[in-house]
Structure formats: structure tokens, C-alpha cells
Amino acid sequence: MKIMKFLSLVAMVLLVVSCNKNGATKKPITTELDSVSYAIGMDVARNVKASFDDFENDLFVQGFKNVLDSTDILMDEAQAQQVIRTYFQKKQQAEAEKRKEAGEKNKAEGEKFLSENKSKDGVQTTESGLQYIVLKEGTGAQPSATSKVKVHYHGTLIDGTVFDSSVDRGEPSEFGVNQVIKGWTEGLQLMKEGAKYKFFIPQDLAYGANPRPGGAIEPFATLIFDVELLEIK
């Protein structure tokens, strides 16, 4: 078991023990050590809330006190470590299976969406599978793979969920054409300054199996972007 997880559990014990039946004791912060102790408590609490859907506080406290008192210990150290390892292994396996199922579902839904979308009015498909609609054609220069561009964009999943939008933030983004996902790199080079396109990006030209952790984009998700090429830098 990783040391930080172990320390988090130990710190959680301290948090729970510091609580009485009426709730947490309200000890004032008067020293630097008090501040550090409280800040660690806050940080650990967030980690524990993220790691456990449920937690048996009474047994948690019981185990802690039994070890301190060296009395009534219900399992030896090796057993305890095995219980903890087994719990987290099962949790990781369950999460991996859940991600796999979500990925398979997303892949199938994305393929179905793109298959139906490609025959709609105005939709063009490149050799790679990128689909796009020209919402407004531009008249300026056309970027290359090594260009830096300034764009406005609005990104959604195929169900309409917005996951990122410079338009909503009210601030354009700047980046290199070859520093983004493959669908963007290809799509931007089809545009001219002043153009606005809608991209339908297959999962293999987006984030595939490895989207950003904790974000709205799940594995193998097909993405939709409205992109306006404002300027080539």
C-alpha cells in the first residue's frame, strides 16, 4: 500500500477521534502547529471523501484505540495490511471495469452517431474520418501544422454536454496547430482566417482511451467543436 494512502488513513483516524458525539470539537487555532494540523485535516478529509463512498467511523476509532492501548486487537498487522490491500485492489478493479464498460459504450455510440451524421446536408468527411461542416468560409491565410493560431471554440459531447468553451469564457485561446488533438490539427489546416467550422471528431482523432482524468470527456468519446479561426499568429 502506498505510504500516502497509509498516512491519509492515519490522519483520518485522528480526525474522527477528535470528534465527540455532538460533532467536532471547536479548538481554536493559536499556534503555527495548530494551523498546520488543521490544514492537513482539511486536505485529508477531501482525499478520504474522494476515496470512500461509505466509512464505518466507530470501527475506525476502535481499531485506532486498540492499537494505542495494545488491548482487544481483532487482527494482527499482517492481516490488517492484507485487508487494506484487498479493499483497494477490488476498488481499482471495479473502477477499471466501469471505465472499460463506459469506453465500449462511448465507442459504439460515437460510431453510430458518425455513421448517421456523414449523410446529413453539408457534412464533409476526410480520409482520416474527420467530419466537418463549413459554417462560414474565411478569406485570409491558411495555417500549416507549425503555425500558431488564435481561435474561439465551443466543445460538446454528442449528447450536448459542454466540456470546454472559450466562447463561454469570453476569451479566445492561442496554441500551436500541432499541439492539440489530431482532429484539431487536421481540421485547422482546412480553414482560412475568418472561417468558422463545425468539427465532428472520432475518438481515435480525439483523446481515445486517455482523456484528462476527472474531466467530462470519458474514454473513446466522440467530440463536437464549433471552431472560429480568428488569426494566424
**121 is annotated as an active-site residue:** no
H or E segment to which residue 149 belongs: strand 148-157
Considering 207, 217, 224, 232, which one is annotated as catalytic?
A: 207
Considering 132, 164, 200, 201, which one is annotated as catalytic?
A: 164
**225 is annotated as an active-site residue:** yes
CB neighbour burial string for 8-17, b if at least 16 within 10 angstroms, e if fewer: bbebbbebbe
Environment class of 149 (CB within 10 Å of its CB; exposed 0-12, middle 13-18, buried 19+):
buried
**181 is annotated as an active-site residue:** yes
Please spell the DSSP secondary structure of 166-199, one letter per residue: HHHHT--EEEEGGGS-HHHHHHHTT--TT-EEEE
Considering 132, 199, 200, 225, which one is annotated as catalytic?
A: 225
**58 is annotated as an active-site residue:** no
Q: Residue 229 carries which DSSP code? A: E
- Of 96, 221, 232, 99, the closest CA to residue 164 belongs to 221
Considering 132, 153, 197, 199, which one is annotated as catalytic?
A: 153
**6 is annotated as an active-site residue:** no
Considering 158, 163, 175, 204, which one is annotated as catalytic?
A: 163
Considering 84, 88, 181, 204, which one is annotated as catalytic?
A: 181
Quick check: helix, strand or coil at residue 26? coil
> Catalytic residues, which ones?
153, 163-164, 181, 207, 225
